[in-house]
Amino acid sequence: MKRTISTIHAPKAVGPYAQAYQINDTLFVSGQIPFIPETMTLVSEDIGLQAEQSLKNIQAIVEAADFSITDIVKCQVFLKNMNDFTTVNDVYAKFFNGHTPARVAVEVSRLPKNAGVEIDAICVKG
């Protein structure tokens, strides 16, 4: 089974891609920048609030596909400034509340819409 996942509870794609794509029991969630879905604007300049919004956007997509946060097995975190790592890490840990998906975190020179963070996810049921 293959299907495209889309929800109004997460930002619309800002390019030619899907919010997520499900293949059987695996869900691939596209990178989520910290946009408020209703306004398609950056939540704040505060990196902690940006990380929280990116994760909320992931959660909305994951739940729209009938997966849960505990189904997330891997995330990639892209930071505009590695000095924000500790703040983003703290928000990330609180969000996952003891669940510890595999993860990578890297600094990049620029992100879409000048966001400070972008996060994607892979989920597997079962």
Kindly calculate the radius of gyration of the chain based on its CA atoms and give it in whole angstroms.
13
Domains of the chain: 2-124 (3.30.1330.40)
pLDDT at 12 over 90: yes
Structure confidence at residue 109 (pLDDT): 97
Q: 28-52: per-residue pLDDT in tens? A: 999 999 999 999 999 999 999 999 9
pLDDT band at 126 (very low <50, low <70, confident <90, very high): confident
pTM exceeds 0.85, yes or no: yes
Rounded CA separation 88/48 (Å): 6
Tell me, what amino acid is at 2?
K
Rounded CA separation 22/63 (Å): 12
